[in-house]
């Protein structure tokens, strides 16, 4: 695979493997308002402490305190503290947190804010541990790992304005650090796999117990409607689920609703379900007194108000009937949670019956594709004379088709080569979809694999669209004609040289062997840029001495040993 990177003066090409998602920033202990914690080193290796741009080692323990909008540790006050290593965060009110890596600590109004920087696969394992404690069959754990990874990818930066991605409560995804071996194994066995909804990571909601029927996402969050998040019967959950009953005093409900900022009718004594979702869950309630019209209230508002003030075990779901008993209300229900997507109770039962994690995913997310790169993209396909074009936005077709025709003709004439396969151009409507499909970061303009060019949105490339396509067509032509063992330095150097990049070096100072090592190792941009310039310079000197026809012949049949040896050893080519 190759890629065209948006760096002036040179379009870089390199070979990469799978996509690497950035680390996840998680607000730890977000439910507590801590003003002081203790840091305890847990290994023989010291913890590296960075404050005010200076570093020191923490070999044992230290206390971190919030001082208004600053942090104090070992006599130093700083706006932000960074800890790196293996250590524990201990406080009087919360469970100790074992950190393996980086923790950033700041403060606001005498309250500490602790943000852990966690690699995405480790974060998936931490959430899987928090949601299950490892208490599920292996195939069910693998199922939930894929769902968690998809949810994480879809809703990353949920708390962007707060300076992190997710909190560590059920508002986002509950997690526990130090997952069990079975949890870690489930994450490793599904590494990188996501659920895809028409080219976009699926909003893979999950919950504890659906009560025998899942809920449609559209009924809870209208903006998250998806054909893979529909309501359907769940026979597996029915076999394992248990009904629940909760008795709540009207005075307690008064208190919970008032705490939520709701103004309820005085003297109310009745709760009526006036509207249900297609799955049978309460959607709209009415609070009234006698024959009065009363006040409408969403069932979810009641459940959250009760949960935050009286405990989440009081109203476990919205799948219930409600009756009055004196000055108490009796809620008789089934299920735990919102009911959308994967039911953990049902998934565990499916696994116990021998279903694989992919079968479980297919049951709870019907139609969603599983893969490490974007799946199910709704392409509009057109056929030009010499290439095929795939777009999602019809408006991109005419623009790219015209420019691609010109770029292709230029590349064929410039190189003197011909295609043995028919090129395909895929035009992505968003940077996110391009990134998900190609595995490239958003600053890469295009990516080529085999006969397919993957292109960022043309509106972002502007007047560089033709130069990017010229470069990619040159690369397709070179790779299509190259013998299997043609060295990477020669193929890459030929593309950069044919493209006429002005940054090619005046003199050859690196050996071809050294160039190849730098390109394959993916070092810094400066080193890679220099390596490509050197590769182009070697090819330029070969062209001057032997001519373009000879270069193309070597591309197809192999470089002569004396030329290859001289280039690898760094000998001068042009005498």
Q: Quote the pLDDT of residue 20.
A: 61
Of 101, 113, 51, 54, which is closest to residue 79 (Cα–Cα)? 51
Binned at pLDDT 50, 70 and 90, residue 5 comes out as very low
The mean per-residue pLDDT over the stretch 80-96 comes to 91
> How many residues are present in the chain?
575
**SS3 per-residue string spanning 258-297:** HHCCCCCCCCCCEEEEEEECCCCCEEEEEEECCCCCCEEE
Residue 7's pLDDT is 34
Q: Tell which wins on pLDDT, 318 or 10.
A: 318
How many Cβ atoms are within 10 Å of 242's Cβ, its own excluded? 10
Contact 151, 171 (CB under 8 A): no
Q: Give the integer Cα–Cα distance in Å for 534 and 508.
A: 6
Q: Mean pLDDT for the chain?
A: 88
- Domains of the chain: which residue ranges? 2-19+377-481, 24-118, 121-161+172-239+339-371, 245-332, 488-569
| Cα 485 from Cα 557, distance rounded (Å) | 9
Confidence bin at 44 (pLDDT 50/70/90)? low
Residue 336 per-residue DSSP state: B
Q: Is the per-residue pLDDT at 262 higher than 70? A: yes
Separation between Cα atoms, residue 449 and residue 430, nearest integer Å:
19
- 342: tokens are 């994967």
List helix spans (H) across 3-137: 120-132
Element (H, E) at 138: helix 138-154
Q: Is 256 helix (H, G, I), strand (E, B) or coil?
A: helix
Residue-wise pLDDT for 263-289, tens only, equals 888 889 999 999 999 999 999 999 998
Using a pLDDT cut of 70, give the percent of the chain over it.
93
Q: Is residue 489 within 8 Å of 567, Cβ to Cβ? A: yes
Q: What whole-number percentage of the chain has pLDDT above 90?
A: 65
What are phi and psi for residue 416, nearest 5 degrees? 75, 20
pLDDT of residue 416: 94
249 or 502: which leads in pLDDT: 249
Which of 95, 71, 94 lies closest to 83 in space, CA to CA? 71
Task: List, as own/partner pairs, every contact residues 307-314 make where C-beta atoms lie below 8 angstroms and the sequence separation is at least 24, other chains included.
Answer: 308/256, 308/259, 308/260, 309/255, 309/256, 309/259, 309/260, 310/248, 310/252, 310/256, 313/246, 314/246, 314/248
Question: How far, in Å, are 52, 69, 73, 74, 184 from residue 109 at the CA level?
Answer: 20, 6, 17, 20, 38
pTM for this one? 0.79
* Closest by Cα among 232, 25, 1 to 117: 25
Reported confidence tier of residue 6, pLDDT bands at 50, 70, 90: very low
From 3.40.50.10880, 3.10.20.30, 3.30.2010.30, 3.40.50.1860, which CATH number describes the 2-19+377-481 domain?
A: 3.30.2010.30
Among 75-79, 151-155, 503-507, 531-535, top mean pLDDT goes to 151-155
pLDDT given for residue 8 in this prediction? 33
Q: Is the per-residue pLDDT at 36 higher than 60?
A: yes
Structure confidence at residue 10 as a pLDDT band (50, 70, 90) = very low
Give the Cα separation of 12 and 532 in Å (integer): 7
Distances (CA, A) of 404 to 391, 401, 411, 452, 474: 13, 5, 10, 13, 12
- Average pLDDT of 437-455? 86
Rounded Cα distance between 310 and 492, Å, is: 66
Of 575, 528, 454, which Cα lies nearest the Cα of 12?
528
pLDDT in tens, 516-543: 888 887 666 778 888 888 888 889 989 9
Q: Are 97 and 86 in contact (CB under 8 A)?
A: no
State the pLDDT confidence band at 503, using cuts at 50, 70 and 90.
low
Helix (H, G, I), strand (E, B) or coil at 505: coil
């Amino acid at each position: 695979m190759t890629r065209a990177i948006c760096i002036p003066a040179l379009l870089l090409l390199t070979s990469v493997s799978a996509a690497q998602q950035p680390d996840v920033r998680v607000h730890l202990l977000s439910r507590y308002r801590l003003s002081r914690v203790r840091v305890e080193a847990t290994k023989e290796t010291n913890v590296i402490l960075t404050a005010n741009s200076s570093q020191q080692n923490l070999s044992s323990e230290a206390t971190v305190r919030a001082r208004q909008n600053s942090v104090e540790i070992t006599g130093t006050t700083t706006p932000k503290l960074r800890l790196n290593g293996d250590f524990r965060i201990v406080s009087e009110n919360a469970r100790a947190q074992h950190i393996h890596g980086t923790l950033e600590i700041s403060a606001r109004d005498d309250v500490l804010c602790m943000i852990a920087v966690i690699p995405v696969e480790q974060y998936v394992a931490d959430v899987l541990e928090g949601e299950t404690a490892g208490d599920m069959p292996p195939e069910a754990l693998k199922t939930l790992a894929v769902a968690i990874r998809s949810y994480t990818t879809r809703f990353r930066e949920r708390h962007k304005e707060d300076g992190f991605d997710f909190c560590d409560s059920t508002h986002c995804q509950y997690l526990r650090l130090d997952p069990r071996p079975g949890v870690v194994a489930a994450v490793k066995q599904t590494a990188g796999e996501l659920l895809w909804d028409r080219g976009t990571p699926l909003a893979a909601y999950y919950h504890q117990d659906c009560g025998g029927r899942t809920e449609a996402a559209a009924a809870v969050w209208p903006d998250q409607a998806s054909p893979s998040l529909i309501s359907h019967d769940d026979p597996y959950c029915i076999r394992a689920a248990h009904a629940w009953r909760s008795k709540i005093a009207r005075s307690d409900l008064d208190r919970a609703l008032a705490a939520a900022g709701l103004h309820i009718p005085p003297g109310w004594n009745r709760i009526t379900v006036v509207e249900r979702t297609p799955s049978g869950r309460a959607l709209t309630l009415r609070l009234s007194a006698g024959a009065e019209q009363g006040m409408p209230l969403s069932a979810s508002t009641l459940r959250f108000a009760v949960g935050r003030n009286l405990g989440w075990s009081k109203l476990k779901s919205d799948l219930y009937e409600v009756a009055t008993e004196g000055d108490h209300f009796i809620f008789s229900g089934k299920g735990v949670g919102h009911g959308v997507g994967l039911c953990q109770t049902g998934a565990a039962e499916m696994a116990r019956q021998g279903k694989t994690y992919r079968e479980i995913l297919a049951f709870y997310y019907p139609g969603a594709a599983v893969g490490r790169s974007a799946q199910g993209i709704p392409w509009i396909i057109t056929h030009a004379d010499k290439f095929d074009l795939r777009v999602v936005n019809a408006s991109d077709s005419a623009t790219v088709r015209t420019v691609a025709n010109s770029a292709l003709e230029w590349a064929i004439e410039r190189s003197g080569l011909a295609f043995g396969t028919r090129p395909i151009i895929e035009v992505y409507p968003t940077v996110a979809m391009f990134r998900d499909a190609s595995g490239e970061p958003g600053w890469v303009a295009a990516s080529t694999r085999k006969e397919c060019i993957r292109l960022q949105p043309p509106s972002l490339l502007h007047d560089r669209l033709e130069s990017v396509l010229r470069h990619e067509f040159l690369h397709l032509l070179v790779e299509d004609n190259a013998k299997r063992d043609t060295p990477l330095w020669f193929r890459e150097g030929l593309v950069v040289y044919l493209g006429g990049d002005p940054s090619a070096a005046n003199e050859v100072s690196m050996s071809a062997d050294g160039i190849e090592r730098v390109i394959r190792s993916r070092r810094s941009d400066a080193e890679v840029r220099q390596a490509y310039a050197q590769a182009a310079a070697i090819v330029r000197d070969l062209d001057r001495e032997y001519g373009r026809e000879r270069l193309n012949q070597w591309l197809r049949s192999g470089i002569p040993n004396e030329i290859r040896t001289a280039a690898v050893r760094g000998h001068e080519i042009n005498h």
